[in-house]
Amino acid sequence: MKIRPQNDKKDEAEGGFNMSITLNYEDVLGFINNEEIFSSAEKIKELNLKLDKGTGKGHDFLGWLYLPKNIIEDEISEIEGIAKEIRENSDLLVCVGIGGSYLGAKAVIHALSDNSFEIQFAGKNISGYELELLLKKLENKDFYINVISKSGTTTEPAIAFRFLKELAKKKYGKNYTKHIIATTDEKKGALRSFCNSEGIRNFIIPDNVGGRFSVLTPVGLLPIACAGLNIRKLISGAKRGVEKYSRQELQENISHLYAIIRNLLYTQAGKKIEVLSTFEPRLKYIIEWWKQLYGESEGKDGKGIFPAGCVFSTDLHSMGQYIQDGERILFETFLIVKNTSSIIVEEDAQNLDGLNYLKGKTLDEINFKAYEGTKNAHTDGGVPNMSIIMDKLSEENIGELIYFFEKAVAISGYLIDINPFNQPGVEAYKKNMFKLLGKPN
């Protein structure tokens, strides 16, 4: 079944509807049915009301819910001003952060940037080799550092920042502080103390917004703006998402539909793994961001769907085999973009490769048929799947998509009765690592 948002504006040029994002779930209906889906409508309304009123689990971290509408003009202008300074006075920006402190920005930049300005990401692991390569590269570059951390003591980014800060001191002397922008807690933490003592310019991470929901705060907006992207359009798309995905009627809210369908596949059809697959390589890091958002939000109390990802058609020649013929424990969500390129296959006189039958077709057309063929094959192979389809890649559509997934994961978490906004399991590896390293206390 294809769901079209009810109140989208008509596109006069096309004579139809301007559908930025749509959901097609006809290929799950052999595993669950419409009656099961829409019998959950009242439950979804109840859960949505909990979110709206802040009465559910994790209600202290609901700042993301209306964040796109609450961003103030002064903050946007300040971000744009510093981004302009960074682009005009340096060769690249190094973003230091891990998890939600970098994945959202990385996802948007990888999807939309023309690479006219270089953004490097550090502090996302503890690889000495990777950090050493970056430090060597920076020796002959002018650079700024955007260090992103609520506490300033998270091991991976704190180590990277220590090295990067020393390089900045060596390169810029007393002026090194002008090359550091912090994004941190408003009042507390080691990074806040550093900002206060050294006069470091800084942006605030809202207390009520968790890291994996923070891409539409300065955490994501500053590096995205530095990459030359229009953050106003990104925010506008997210605002559109707030309007569309706050609708109470289930048939008018594809974010809520996505949440209930994946929950039914998990609880009723026994599907434990969701594979988010795309045929557009630029969406690779959207998938990585989604994996954190869903894995960290749902995976607790012995519950939750395991989030995995594939980039097709490349992964059809590897993971595609398992999806087609492996154990029937997964379902698939396709993330599809319709219009990405106008490049056309031309006729070849010799036709040694046998491709002349594609003459006159765009690669977009061919890629879309690859998607349709894969979708049909996986359905026939016993893999329920649905498709989230964007009409094009743009700041507005990516902003809406971000909110689509954020809203859906909140509903999904409440459906399995967990707190979608904490991450207690993340601390386990840290405790063991600190003990092995001999950290005091």
Average pLDDT estimate for 187-197: 97
Structural tokens at position 126: 């503890």
Task: Supply the DSSP string of 3-31, one letter for each residue.
Answer: E--TTPPEETTTTEE--SEEEE-GGGTTT
> pLDDT tens digits, residue range 157-180?
999 999 999 999 999 999 999 999
Mean pLDDT (the chain) is 94
User: What span, in angstroms and rounded, lies between the C-alpha atoms of 128 and 394?
Assistant: 36
Query: Is residue 150 predicted with pLDDT exceeding 70?
Result: yes
Q: Which residue is it, tokens 């969701």?
A: 274
Task: Select from 200, 143, 199, 148 the least CA-distant residue to 171.
Answer: 143
Structure confidence at residue 24 as a pLDDT band (50, 70, 90): very high
Across 97-242, the runs of DSSP E, i.e. the strands, are 118-122, 143-148, 180-184, 201-204
Residue 174 carries which DSSP code? G
What average pLDDT does the segment 237-248 reach?
A: 96
Region label for 419, one of left (φ > 0), alpha (ψ between -120 and 50) or beta (otherwise): beta
Q: What is the DSSP string of 334-392?
A: EEEEEES---BPPP-SS-TTS-GGGTT-BHHHHHHHHHHHHHHHHHHTT--EEEEEEEE
Residue 247 has pLDDT above 70, yes or no: yes
Retrieve residue 94's tokens: 């190094």
Residue 12 has pLDDT above 80, yes or no: no
Angle of helix 73-89 relative to helix 231-244, nearest 10 degrees, comes to 140
* Per-residue confidence band for 4, with pLDDT thresholds at 50, 70 and 90: very low
Q: Is there a contact between 228 and 87 (Cβ–Cβ < 8 Å)?
A: yes
Average pLDDT of 378-392? 96
Which part of the chain is CATH 3.40.50.10490?
2-57+235-424, 67-229
Q: Residue 17 has what pLDDT? A: 33
Q: Is residue 356 within 8 Å of residue 347, measured between CB atoms? A: yes
Reply yes or no on whether 137 is catalytic: no
- What is the distance between the alpha carbons of residues 192 and 144, in angstroms, rounded to a whole number? 18
pLDDT of 5 above 60 = no
For this structure, is 169 an active site residue?
no
Residues 163 and 161: their CA atoms lie apart, in Å, by 5
Q: Could you report the per-residue pLDDT of 92-117, keeping only the tens digit for each?
A: 999 999 999 999 999 999 999 999 99
What kind and span of H or E run contains 330?
strand 330-339
Q: Which of the four pLDDT bands, split at 50, 70 and 90, describes residue 3?
A: low
What pLDDT, on a 0 to 100 scale, did the predictor assign at position 87?
Answer: 98
DSSP secondary structure letter of residue 276 = E
Residue 415 CA to chain centroid, in angstroms?
22
Q: Name the active-site residue from 317, 327, 427, 435.
A: 317
What's the confidence (pLDDT) of residue 2?
52
pLDDT band at 13 (very low <50, low <70, confident <90, very high): very low
The answer, yes or no, to whether residue 9 has pLDDT greater than 60, is no
Q: What confidence category does residue 288 fall into, taking pLDDT thresholds of 50, 70 and 90?
A: very high
**Number of other CB atoms surrounding residue 280 within 10 Å:** 21
Residue type, 228: G
Cβ neighbors of 81 (< 8 A, separation 6 or more) are: none
- Position 14 confidence tier, pLDDT thresholds 50, 70, 90: very low
Q: Which two tokens stand for residue 111?
A: 């999807």
pLDDT tens digits, one per residue of 326-366: 999 999 999 999 988 889 999 999 999 999 999 999 999 99
pLDDT at 426: 86
Cα atoms found within 13 Å of the Cα of residue 84, Cβ hemisphere only? 7
Backbone angles phi, psi at 28, to 5 degrees: -105, -10
Residues listed for the chain: 441
- Max Cα separation, the chain? 74
- Homologous superfamily of 2-57+235-424: Glucose-6-phosphate isomerase like protein; domain 1 (3.40.50.10490)
Residue 147 CA to residue 220 CA, distance in Å, equals 12
Active site residue 430: yes
The one-letter amino acid at 124: K
What six digits make up the tokens of 99? Answer: 């998890």
pLDDT at position 37 over 50: yes
| Cβ pair 374, 312 in contact under 8 A | yes
> CA dihedral defined by 83, 88, 92, 94, rounded to 10 degrees?
-30
Q: In 10-141, where do the E strands start and end?
A: 10-11, 16-17, 21-24, 92-96, 118-122
Name which CATH class applies to 67-229.
Answer: alpha beta
- pLDDT > 70: what percent of the chain? 96
Q: Which of 280, 296, 400, 406 is catalytic?
A: 296
Who contacts 64 (Cβ-Cβ below 8 Å, separation ≥6)? Answer: 209, 210, 213, 214, 216, 406
